[in-house]
Structure 1
Amino acid sequence: MGLPKVGAAVGRIVATAQNGLEVIRLGGLETGTQPAPFRVVETEKMFRLRRYFPDDAGDGASHIILIPPMMVSANVYDVTENNGAVSVLHRHGIIPWVIDFGSPDHEEGGMERTLTDHVMAISRAIDLVRGIVGRDVHLGGYSQGGMFAYQTAAYRRAEGLASLVTYGSPVDITAAMPLGLPANLVVPGVEFLGDRVFSNIWVPSWLARTGFQLADPVKTAKSRIDFLRRLHDRDALLPREDQRRFIEQEGWVAWSGPAVAELMRQFVVHNRMMSGGFVIDGDVVSMSDITCPVLAFVGETDDIGQPVAVRGIRRAAPEADVFESTIPAGHFGLVVGSTAGRMSWPTTAEWILWRDAKGPRPEAAHEMDASVTSGSGISWANRLTYGVGQVAGAGTAVSKELIEAVSSIQRTTVAVASESVRTVPRLFRLGQIQPSTRISLAKLMSENEKRTPNDELFLFENRVLTHDQVNTRIDNVVAGLIECGIRPGEHVGVLMDTRPSALVVVAALSRLGAVAVIVSSGDDLPEMLTLADTNVILTDPNHLDVATAVSDRVLVLGGGDQRVIDRADGVSIVDMEQIDPDKVRMPVWYRRDPGLAGDLAFILFTKINGRISRWSITNHRFAMSAFGAAAAAGLSNRDTVYCLPPLHHASGLLTTLGATVAGRSRIALSNGVDPERFAFEVRHYGVTVVSYTWSMLAEIIRRDDFDAAQLATVRLFMGSGLTSGLWTEIREALPKAKVLEFFATADGSAILANVDGNKIGAMGRSLPETNNVRIAAYDTDTDQLAVDRDSGFIREANPGEVGMLVSHAAQKFDAAGLVLRDVFRSHDRWEVSGSLFRADADGDLWYMGSAQGVIRTARGVVYPAPIQNALSELPVVEQVAVYGVRHAGAQLAVAAISLRADGPSLTPTMLRVGLGELEAADRPDIIWVTDSIPVSESFRPIATGLVARGVPKPGPKVWYRDSEGRYRRYTASVAKTIDWAWPTVQDETVDGVVDVAE
């Protein structure tokens, strides 16, 4: 009885020793399996293209190209003889092709490969296979290979692709990070690694393997223990030996450092597969460009490509038909092993045949539901059902839940701390500025170039310009300006469309130390040039005729346009594109970015009541606006700001260009406000912040086909001039996006912002580290600040009292307007803004209008801004203009309204409700509906033409305010009897006039 047991034990020891020796000598057990046959049909620097089963002619067959992840060998699709991807697909009549990137550490230039190199290589392989087979092909990829597939399909706009098939490939990466780690903890570390570590080093294969195994250390340890315990039983080990050797030894290749850095930066830190706006070979690409069908395999216990992250494709590619197939497996089990051989690859084959009209729709594929956007998407039941390794993963999920619970409790603190990291350095820098401090737009751009030269700066018409490229262009334009005789301090007019070239010109003048006089085309252009002492204009080809009509010297910048070439004479018209910057001899006086805080940097213009005023902006004022706006908007290098305002508007120059440069954000430029392209460009560029002025967003928000889901990436709208009505509409249409409304005097002396956005219509408070502001009591009868009789100083307005906004003139060198001393106390200095405000009980400021725009009626003053905001809330109103018209020695307050197309008519009930919160005396005397109200280039309503028409004539679309504040139809008979000084009327029934007031 004892001898058989001893013999069995001895046999077990001998078998263990023999098998162990084989593992030590060969790295594993010899299984006798053979890889599937293939032929390399194309070899290029980046890849070798394998065509499997070359003896099969594949006449009429479907074809799929499979992409491995960067860190995994191309053999991942042929690990096991029976269950390997290529074998299963071929058994179903499909010809598999596999892209083999090789091992970068053994390829020439391999460790310098970028993400773009991989995508371009895949795109090239698609063209090669299509050329061979003569039909569209399917594209598939596992893990990061699937991400490559998505990126390539987006880059190609799905051209030549019958469908996409991905396996555990995350799209919304920050929604569910690998291993369930909290994104707010991981992303900063990933950003550091991408910028400072992987951009300079590469990842060896052993480290890639170790990283994968550490993703589930319990499962890895369990597998090794099971292998050692069964080392005596060769028959039990052989079925899984090829898979074990692949995972533990043979399946890993090195990662190129630049490719890893780019992956981290674009798709983890910025999550641009989800938001859009990633860059491939200099082109802007968005997942919304994918239009071919998609099948995404989701691992029910995949802790690397977590289900929620994988299902992000449904929202990222709204134009595609997206299906999913859920597999009871982890990340690796999706493509390798018995489960993959039984489920993943047969379903893939059925999908391909269905899409090529050769078979029915696979039962395991169904339309994707992406309604769950938080958590991992892995249920506890699945974790418990599918193994000890997954239970260990569940522990990770528990950790995540605990962290998120703590985070929710401390959310406010974390948010404040996070914002402080970004904003405190900016605001601290503002506080350190002295008159002799070197600071300017160009200097900020130089600093950004030095910090991140290869990061994108401008996005325009599918083109991308990096900080390095933009600064090189700026330096070239500076050389051209010097060749044209422009010197530091000279005033140069800039008349250009808001394009990259215009921003480059403004920055070049700043780099040279000249003053950019930013003008707009129109009848006021000659007066602007005179006010700014400007004798030379720098323009683009589109404005050449306008510029030459008002100036004897015009410099033209813009792409070799034939209109310029034909007219350039080198004297009155200079084509700057013909100047070779390398041949320009830079003078000894030239100093890069010489601008001091006290130097004049820009000249803007404002027009109030038909009068043009010049506003001078120093570098200090520019910096205050730029840093203040960037801090208020929380801008960072993760933001893409969509710039809609014209450059000559303060919002375009200061709170868009200035803030994005200060925040190191990307700037996406448009070809003007085009409702047809707006949603597309937001998705395409990955826009997170939209800048605006006045009513330019109205056409977009009010379109019948407006789809809020297309603007899901937008977190903030920032700008100035937004009416309360449009503000309310934006909030209702996009509740997750905030509105940051700024008020800035054109010279930047006062900068207010409604940072929390809770009080619609309020201008908020002054930004930290910008000039302090107060509301000085103001006598509208005398147009003077009100003096306190006891102290002799100016009295500060009480809450609710309308007064003059004044800003503390802390820096004497950049005060551009009227500066008064000894205002609220001895020796203080305050700059008078000319704008009237009131402060509410919380200290928030509300704009009432300019002092010049006050309407002086017989009953007292009427402020236009509250009327405009109140009427803008009416759902039938398109535009509102409120102005005063002279009549009988006083003014009448008139509100002109244009109605929305195809909307209902305006009724007295609407007027009563809309103006209900205003006191009777604060309402307009006359309201009339006009066909249209013209707007400026910045979409500000222009009332000049309306004022010239005088008191509106009686008619069915005109109402007047009676003595009780009600609105009645303004008829011819009423016009004869009304006394505007004492607004009462005769009994209307006597005159046969219908009373329409309600």
Structure 2
Amino acid sequence: MGIVGQVQRLIATAQNGLEVIRFGGLATDDESSPFEVVERKPNFRLRHYFPGDDTPDRPVALLIPPLMVAADVYDVTTDKGAIGILSRAGIDTWVVDFGAPETEEGGWKRDLADHVVACNDAIDAVLRRTGGRPIHLAGYSQGGMFGYQVAAFRRTDGIASLITFGSPVDLVAGLPFGLPADFTSSVAEFIADHVVSRFSLSDSMVRTGFQLLDPVKTVRARVDFVRQLHDREALLPRERQRRFLEQDGWVGYAGPALADLLKQFVVHNRMVSGGFVIADQPVTLAEITCPILAFVGELDDIGVPAAVRGIKRAAPNADIYEMRLRAGHFGLVAGNTAATITWPLVADWVRWRDGVGSMPDMIEPMLEDDPDQHRPPTPVERMMHTAATAAEVGTTVSRGIIGFAGSRIRSSVEFSGEAARALPRLSRLGQLQPHTQISLGSMLAEQGRRAPLGQSFIFDDRVHTNAAVNTRIDNVVKGLIQAGVRPAGRVGVLMETRPSGLAAVAALSRLGAVSVLLAPGGDLAAAIRLTGISTLITDPQNVAAAATAGCKVLVLGGGDARGLSVPTGERVVDLEQIDPDLVDVPGWYRPNPGLARELAFILVAGSGDGMEAKYITNYRWALSAFGTASSADLDRGDTVYCLAPLHHSSGLLVSLGGAVAGGSRIALARSMEPAKFAEEVHRYGVTVVTYTWTMLREILDADVFGPQHQHPIRLFIGSGMPPGLWRRTVDQFTPARVLEFYAATEGDIVLANVAGVKAGCEGRPVPGTASVELAAYDPIADEFEVDNRGFVRRCADDEVGLLLSKASPVVDASKDGMRGVFAAGDAWLPTESLFRRDRDGDYWLVDNKHTVIDTARGPVFTQPIAGALNEISAVDLEVVYGLPAAEQRQVAVAAVSVRKGYRLEVQDLTDGMYGLVAAQRPDVVHVVDDIPVGASYRPSAAAVRAAGRPQPGPRAWYYDWRDGHYKELTVAMAKEIFGEPE
């Protein structure tokens, strides 16, 4: 190049450079596509592009931008941008414009729900203006996440298809180095609570942050621009895109929205699990049913492929396709690749879904893959890889180092995360003294102070915050005070599992009164006589039964259409009609006065003459609560689905207690309908399901999810699940586990099968709970066996004994305890449960001391028989009981019902009982049409026994002691076993 040419180049560089300095860039002839703002609302503006085109029956597309990027991202260049390409393809194109938070009123206070609701309103507006033609909803990056969320929120109503570009769903799958979710969750939660909650991100901060994601590329682009500054014609085609990325395309990010993103979708990963909250409603992507096309950038560092492909698991009811591009995050929607591939393909997809043309050749069904297999290297990993290469370390070695380090970090951080949650709980248990103030009411108040806007529980698709729950409890307390309830008073609670039932129990706790929990449909008169209550809290559903019990009745809950079946008056008081603001709070009222040693709850079990009252102190409740939270590793990321009723010990001590102690959300189930269960598990993002006894049987029979559908459940916790049902649960809900608890109402015993590998086993004592021992015991004589020094003999391994708990300082051992049991001066509390302890130290329940069968060959225990029968595939339910025998003692009888579609053969019985020693096998087994279950889903042996003796015939078998086989029960053999017919 000559001197003249160099001078001309220098002058051109100076002129262009001056223009860039003065105006921010070079002037181009490109104009933005024409649009009209057809709808303005506080949270968005709706743009309609090429509004003059009134071509009839055009497909409709609505595009959603991400929060940090201006809505013009779809129109960076008129000829090669999304708007121009789609419009020329005959598609009616609309765009949601969220505006910039710095210029919008209240913009810095917006959260994610505000933007999803804005998208929902925009969809409604487009539907109104286009005659209701279903919309193809498209979103880039977080705009695609909004698309998924709003489609789920409105259950795909009005949406023809979803199209997303680099939109992550499983955000945890995109973590670098395979870092554990617990570690990332903790960091994200800290940032959400203590950093972005205090300020927002300005547009310059957003721009700088994106540029730092790939600093080498940013510097190279600027160097290339300067080097070509002399060649205006070469720069002009890319100038609008450069200016968009360098300055014009970025907008600020409101702190509440960013905190919401971190908490819901990083900390709790609820795009995958479900249960994220929009406008106080739980939402799940499983409710998306329209087809989805996801663009996957193989070089995308933000919407990494594994994270984008998370939609396959999150939306099992949708047909999902993908298009892979060798492009980065921005290149998916802008630039040459987007102009030549992305947007023409979108146009073809829209036409195909609208019934015009065939499926585009380039797309294919999305397949689930290894989250690490297609994840592109992050900038940090790129630098590490470069350094390793420079040091002549091979790729395999560097990957091995990264994988080794990642696995060590993952295991150590996951362990420390669990320990960090468990240790404070166990420490708090150790600090409890008789005078310590602790109760259900105080712990709920504690949560309200710590996180007032945190989510407390879900019911009927509505999410209630800690603040709202505590306000409701305080209002109920005022109603109870007005109705004459005082501290230490015993008040019956006869309610279904519902928010008002939880509020009633919590309000009595906050008041310092005692909740007597009663099962709807039970023997109410006997329970009142047993407990001496004179006041009942009930719901409209049970008010008729309560009104006939002779007590004062307080009615709570029921919503707007209450329809009370009895008139209110002096004996029936509608608490909902009491204005809490008008109640004069007496001077004696102190919220949450309950001490650890004081009585908090009374559980009523059994019926008739066998009805018993179980007394639960605040300490006993807290023991189970913290023990459950520690054993199940419950935290704020969990949603506990409460199937167990609150009047059952599992519901009160394990479900409610564990969730409150763990800070988890509680989802209350209105019914046990399998279809409703499946729907709410996804919508609520249920991670833990509580149960009692055979509660899960109907759900398993319905096969609610099917073999290909994912679910968010990680754990089932409860008590009494038979081993066969346990195995079916684990098989059907893989990879979820079962965590079986035994929480004795006597003493401080909490056993938990944490490992979950021995079906039917109750496990070991939870750390921080009472020490236990098995005492040698004769259940027939109701006597302990003593040694030659007069002390009770401890049981050997696999020997059946009565379970005892060591008395703690909080428990008054003089009331129901024993002293001098194994050593002089020791104090123990006996339970009514018989256990055996295996060689590993795990405890197995074998019977209640009152239901042991007194046979001529010695005591026969019911639980091992029931467990063995439940392992037979054909058996649905089973009960074991004693009947009078011809020899004036009892015979062991088992009754079974058969699963639909199965047939029970006599050989099944012989094989099924093989694991029991002969003396512990049932004398007679017979098939019955139905085995009733109680309110807690425990099969009722009493109901089957009351129906009479097993009848001879092909549905009854007896055990032949001569050859160890079961054989058909004949009339002669029935007479020999039972004696003459009654």
* TM bucket normalised to smaller: over 0.9
Q: Distance in 2 between matches of 1:210 and 1:114?
A: 22
What TM-score, normalized to structure 1?
Answer: 0.94
Do residues 131 (structure 1) and 152 (structure 2) align?
Answer: no
Question: Are residue 99 (structure 1) and residue 96 (structure 2) matched?
Answer: yes
| CA–CA separation in structure 2 for the residues paired with 1:831 and 1:682 | 40
Q: Does 1:770 align with 2:769?
A: yes
**What amino acid does structure 1 have at the position aligned with 2:67?**
M
Tell whether 2:50 aligns with 1:68: no
1:975 aligns with 2:974: yes
User: Which residue identity does 1:74 align to in structure 2?
Assistant: A
Give the structure 1 partner of residue 2 of structure 2: 5
Residue pairs, 1:852-867, within 5 angstroms: 852-867=850-865
Letter in 2 for 1:417: S
- Given residue 20 of structure 1, which amino acid in structure 2 is its aligned partner? G
> What SS is found at the alignment partner of 1:506?
helix
Counterpart of 1:163, as a letter, is S
Where does structure 2 lack aligned partners over 5 or more consecutive residues?
none
Aligned residue number for residue 280 of structure 2: 282
- Report the CA distance shift for 1:396/1:447 in structure 2 as closer, same or farther (over 3 A): farther
CA distance in 2, matches of 1:453, 1:531: 40
Question: For structure 1, which segment, 838-847 or 609-618, has the greater mean C-alpha deviation from structure 2 after superposition?
Answer: 609-618
Quote the Cα distance in structure 2 between the aligned partners of 1:453 and 1:563.
Answer: 29
Summarize the alignment of residues 956-975 of structure 1 with structure 2, pairs less than 5 Å apart.
956-964=954-962, 965-975=964-974
Distance of 2:186 and 2:422 partners within structure 1 = 16
Which deviates the most, 712-721 or 726-735? Answer: 726-735
Secondary structure in 2 matching 1:454: coil
Report the equivalent of 1:759.
758
* Equivalent residue letter for 2:137: L
Following superposition, the deviation at residue 345 of structure 1 comes to 0.5
Residue 913 of structure 1 and its aligned partner are, at CA, apart by 1.2
The answer on whether the counterparts of 2:543 and 2:555 sit within 8 Å (CA) in structure 1 is: yes
Q: Deviations over 1:949-993 (max 9, x none)?
A: 45423222111112243211110122345699xxxxxxxxxxxxx
- The corresponding residue for 2:117 is 120
* In structure 2, C-alpha distance between the alignment counterparts of 1:817 and 1:673, rounded to whole Å: 40
Q: Deviations over 1:56-111 (max 9, x none)?
A: 22332222111111111111111123211101111111121111111101111111
Q: 1:894 to 1:827 in 2, by over 3 A?
A: same
Indicate the residue corresponding to 2:539 in structure 1: 540
Cα offset, 1:332, TM superposition: 0.4
CA distance in structure 2 between the partners assigned to 1:464 and 1:504 by the alignment: 15
Taking only the aligned residue pairs, the percentage that are identical comes to 50
Match of 1:681 in 2: 680
Q: Mean alpha-carbon deviation: is it higher for 125-134 or for 862-871? A: 125-134
Compute the displacement of 1:815 (Å): 5.4
Opposite residue 100 of structure 1, the aligned amino acid is D
Q: 1:923 maps to which residue? A: 921
1:825 alignment counterpart: 823
Which stretch of the first structure deviates more once superposed, 182-191 or 964-973?
A: 182-191
Distance in 1 between residues matched to 2:142 and 2:394, nearest whole Å: 25
Q: Kindly provide the CA deviation profile for residues 733-782 of structure 1, in whole angstroms up to 9, marking residues without a partner as x.
A: 23311110001113463110000111111111111111111111112342
- Partner AA of 1:339 in structure 2: T
Q: Unaligned 5+ residue runs, structure 1?
A: 981-998
What are the superposed Cα offsets for residues 844-879 of structure 1, whole Å, 9 maximum, x if unpaired? 111111111111100111111100000100000000
Secondary structure of the residue aligned to 2:515 is strand
Deviation at 1:13, TM superposition (A): 2.8
For the residue of structure 1 that corresponds to 2:66, the secondary structure is coil
Secondary structure at the residue paired with 1:510?
A: helix
Change (3 A) 1:412 1:210: closer
Q: What's the Cα RMSD here?
A: 2.5
1:198 and 2:196 matched? yes
Matches within 5 A, 1:573-652: 573-607=572-606, 611-652=610-651
Partner residue in 2 for 1:255: 253
Aligned to 1:25: 22
Determine if contact 2:740/2:753 at 8 Å carries over to the other structure: yes
Q: Is the 8 A contact 1:277 1:284 kept in 2?
A: yes
Q: Which amino acid aligns with 2:91?
A: I
Change (3 A) 1:157 1:812: closer
User: Which residue is equivalent to 1:745?
Assistant: 744
| Post-superposition CA distance 1:224-276 (Å, at most 9, x none) | 22222222222222222211111111111111111111111111111111111
Deviation at 1:177, TM superposition (A): 3.4
**Shift in Å at residue 435 of structure 1?**
0.9
| Alpha-carbon spacing, 1:416–1:817, altered in 2? closer, same or farther (3 Å) | farther
Closer, same or farther: CA 969–609 of 1 in aligned 2, 3 Å: farther
Question: For the residues of structure 2 that align with 1:388 and 1:232, how far apart are their CA atoms?
Answer: 34
CA contact (8 A) 2:182 2:417 kept: no
The aligned counterpart of 2:493 is 494
Find out whether 1:478 has 2:471 as its counterpart: no
For 2:510, the equivalent position in structure 1 comes to 511
- State how far apart, in whole Å, the 2-side matches of 1:267 and 1:627 are: 27
Conservation of the 8 A alpha-carbon contact between 1:46 and 1:118: yes
Q: 1:378 to 1:323 in 2, by over 3 A?
A: same
Task: Name the counterpart of 1:108.
Answer: 105
Residues 300 and 523 of structure 1: is their aligned pair in 2 closer, same or farther, counting only changes over 3 Å?
closer
Whether contact under 8 Å (1:610, 1:944) holds in the other structure is no
Q: Secondary structure at the match of 1:668?
A: strand
Looking at structure 1, the residues matched to 414 and 919 of structure 2 have their Cα atoms a distance apart, in angstroms, of 44
Q: Secondary structure of 1:258's match? A: helix
d(CA) in 2 for partners of 1:619 and 1:18? 81
Distance 2:116 2:840 in 1: 55
CA distance in 1, matches of 2:145, 2:657: 35
Provide the residue aligned with 1:154 in structure 2.
152
Q: Report the Cα distance in structure 2 between the residues aligned to 1:326 and 1:395, rounded to whole angstroms.
A: 28
- After TM superposition, the structure 1 = structure 2 runs for residues 297-308 of structure 1, keeping only pairs within 5 Å, are 297-308=295-306
The CA deviation string for residues 136-163 of structure 1, in whole angstroms up to 9 with x for no partner, is 2211110001111111111111111111
CA drift at 1:712: 2.3
Match of 1:172 in 2: 170
Task: Figure out how many residues of one structure are paired with residues of the other and give that number.
Answer: 970
User: Do the aligned partners of 2:627 and 2:769 also contact (CA within 8 Å) in 1?
Assistant: yes
Give yes or no for contact 2:604–2:614 (8 Å, CA) kept in 1: yes
Q: Alpha carbons of 1:862 and 1:275: their partners in 2 closer, same or farther (altered >3 Å)?
A: same
Cα 1:478/1:709, change in 2 over 3 Å: farther
Give the letter aligned to residue 550 of structure 2: S
Cα deviation for residue 122 of structure 1 reads 1.0
564-573 or 721-730, which moves further after superposition? 564-573
CA distance in 2: counterparts of 1:461 and 1:645, whole angstroms: 17
In structure 2, distance between residues paired with 1:672 and 1:57? 51
**2:746 and 2:831 in contact (8 A); partners too:** no
SS of aligned partner of 1:353 = helix
What residue identity is the alignment partner of 1:114? D
Change beyond 3 A, Cα 1:398–1:684: farther
Distance 2:607 2:870 in 1: 21
Deviation (angstroms), 1:917: 0.8
User: Which stretch of the first structure deviates more once superposed, 359-368 or 322-331?
Assistant: 359-368
Q: Does structure 1 residue 721 correspond to structure 2 residue 717?
A: no
3-state SS of the aligned residue for 2:878? strand
Superposed, which structure 2 residues align to 1:635-674 within 5 Å? 635-674=634-673
Are 1:618 and 1:814, in contact at CA under 8 Å, matched by a contact in 2?
no
Q: How far, CA to CA, are the matches of 2:395 and 2:663 in structure 1?
A: 35
CA contact (8 A) 2:746 2:829 kept: no
Q: In 2, are the aligned partners of 1:878 and 1:899 still within 8 Å (CA)?
A: yes
1:612-649 C-alpha deviation (Å, 9 max, x unpaired): 11111000000000000011000000001111011110
Comparing 778-787 with 507-516, greater Cα deviation is found at 778-787
Say yes or no: does 1:217 pair with 2:210.
no
In structure 2, the partner of 1:366 is 364
- In structure 2, the residue corresponding to 1:550 is in which secondary structure? coil
More displaced 10-residue stretch of structure 1: 369-378 or 908-917: 369-378
TM-score normalised by length of structure 2: 0.95
Matched residue, 1:985: none
Contact 1:29–1:241 (CA under 8 A) maintained in structure 2: yes
Q: Distance in 1 between matches of 2:846 and 2:921?
A: 13
Looking at structure 2, the residues matched to 149 and 978 of structure 1 have their Cα atoms a distance apart, in angstroms, of 70
Give the match for residue 989 of structure 1.
none
CA change 1:979–1:492 in 2 (3 A) is: closer
Q: Is the 8 A contact 1:181 1:400 kept in 2?
A: no
- Partner SS state of residue 551, structure 2: coil
Cα pair 1:178 1:304 within 8 Å, conserved: no
Q: Classify the secondary structure of the residue corresponding to 1:902.
A: coil
Relative to structure 1, the CA distance from residue 400 to residue 740 in structure 2 (aligned partners, 3 Å threshold; closer, same or farther) is farther
Equivalent position of 1:991 in the other structure: none
Residue identity in the other structure for 1:913: D
